[in-house]
Amino acid sequence: MSNVVVITGAATGLGRATALKLAKQQYKLMIVDFNEVEGQNTANMAVELGAEAIFVKADVSNEEDVKAYVAKAVEKFGTINYFLNNAGIMVPFRLVHEYDASEYDRIMNINVKGAFLGVKYVIPVMLENGGGTIINTVSSNSFKPTAYNGLYAATKHAVNGLTKSIGQDYQAKNIYAVGVAPNNMQTNISAGAAVTLNEEIGTAIQLTTPPNISATAEEVAEAMIFAMNNGKLLTGSTINCAGGQILL
């Protein structure tokens, strides 16, 4: 099998950390993100590490952008062996009834529709290719919500469902889907949520979060690569990176 990886949300955080580890292993990389400056920086860093890597600017929630990045990957590398469906956002911490419909639309469009559009256009390439492995970045919030995080939890439960469905429905076609669920990972994503953080919300979050070991993006990137290498074994399941929190 060739080694072409398309990874979304790779301008920063987990996506970048995974891309750079893969670059050291000579994977061919397409970095997809709507952050043009940092996305291009990730691609440049991957090239410096010896990989063939390109950056494509795309909003994962925009169907035309998704079609374009998938087409570009096929044009440039011939196929897609691994798809890391990783881009995601958080919205401000609120109780569910306090959210505006616009916040619902924004997080659903990026976290759920973006993940769906990715697999919608990548799976036909994998079918043509005889198989492939999809890694969906989910969350401990795919299993159990933290306080004041209901919309984010809803999106990550949805992507967990997508992972299970792909795992179930494509076994005979050699297409595998594995979830990787970070929990308390040191990246910038929570800045989008923390704008509403106050003492009451902070206490509620602590009360709904059992003790756990936090992780760096580099550590969780190891789980992403393990999932890539073991798609057949793990398909339909999710690797829980919650560091001691027991999530069922």
Active-site annotation holds for 69: no
Structure tokens that stand for 187 in this block: 């990246």
What binding mask, one character per residue, do residues 62-81 give for ligand NAD by CB under 6 A, x or -?
Answer: --------------------
Which residues, 16 to 35, sit near ligand NAD by CB under 6 A?
33-35
- Candidate list 188, 195, 244, 248; residue touching ligand NAD; CB under 6 A: 188
Q: How far is the CB of 88 from ligand NAD (least distance, A)?
A: 2
Rule CB under 6 A: is residue 103 a binding residue for ligand NAD? no
Q: Which of 27, 148, 152, 170 is catalytic?
A: 152
**Dist. CA 153–CA 112, nearest whole Å:** 11
Nearest to ligand NAD of 15, 150 (CB atom): 15
Q: How far is the CB of 180 from ligand NAD (least distance, A)?
A: 8
- Residue 23 has phi, psi (to 5 degrees) of -60, -40
Residue with nearest beta carbon to ligand NAD = 13
Rule CB under 6 A: is residue 110 a binding residue for ligand NAD? yes
CA 15 vs. chain centroid, Å, equals 7
Which residues, 145 to 184, sit near ligand NAD by CB under 6 A?
182-184
- Candidate list 4, 15, 123, 240; residue touching ligand NAD; CB under 6 A: 15
Nearest to ligand NAD of 7, 125 (CB atom): 7
- Residue 168 has phi, psi (to 5 degrees) of -75, -40
C-alpha distances out from residue 127 to 79, 123, 161, 237, Å? 10, 6, 21, 21
Query: Which residues, 6+ apart, have CB-to-CB distance to 5 below 8 Å?
Result: 19, 22, 27, 28, 29, 30, 80, 81, 82, 83, 84, 228
Sign of the four-CA dihedral 56, 74, 9, 153: positive
- Candidate list 14, 22, 123, 153; residue touching ligand NAD; CB under 6 A: 14
Q: Choose the binding region for ligand NAD from 43-51, 57-65, 143-151, 164-172 (rule: CB under 6 A).
A: 57-65
Structure tokens that stand for 116 in this block: 């769906």
C-alpha distances out from residue 40 to 34, 37, 49, 160, 204, Å? 10, 5, 14, 29, 38
**Exposure string over 155-190, b if 16+ CB within 10 A, otherwise e:** bbbbbbebbbebbeebeeebbbbbbbbbbbbebebe
- Candidate list 23, 185, 193, 221; residue touching ligand NAD; CB under 6 A: 185
Q: How far is the CB of 40 from ligand NAD (least distance, A)?
A: 12
Residue type, 26: Q
What amino acid positions are annotated as catalytic residues?
A: 152
Applying CB under 6 A, the residues found at the interface with ligand NAD are: 8-9, 11-15, 33-35, 58-61, 86-89, 110, 114, 137, 139, 182-185, 187-189, 217
